[in-house]
Structure 1
């Protein structure tokens, strides 16, 4: 049974994968996030999601993977607490900006700036 599931997953990965580049997993994106923030490639936004400060390497893909996971979690929190998704996003965005270390990027009033 496990072998069948494994083979099915491998086949799906081959069918879905792009020719020369494989998509990052969420774990890989999470591992790459600190370095991308330190390098000034990604930053926190007030809407609760990561933004691309400078497009380089796989920064956009890292942001996409993490933002998808964040959105899923925000939706769960909103549903569980009977509040709007927008409210959860804004609260999460403010917390992320507050926790961003000095020297990393945040987006305020539509402009990227170092904290």
Structure 2
């Protein structure tokens, strides 16, 4: 039995889709707050502190994760300004949340 078949039987979405939806809702809400609001200032904050090199996969940055959610493609990077601009239109942001783009 595949995961898709199981999700269809139990009439549920994958938990990864639910997490994606909730993260995009939160970041959109924070970015629509006034610019002086701490939640807006630090919503996509990236530390300038460099981490020591570790073996294995490099640490993913939060903005890279949101970029992947927005574009559904890990190699295409969206900037903080692009995400902020796109999230300012609540209707288009909500359509992104409710209908994830299919890879292709």
TM-score normalized with structure 1 length: 0.28
TM-score normalized with structure 2 length: 0.30
- The structure in which a higher percent of residues are strand is 1
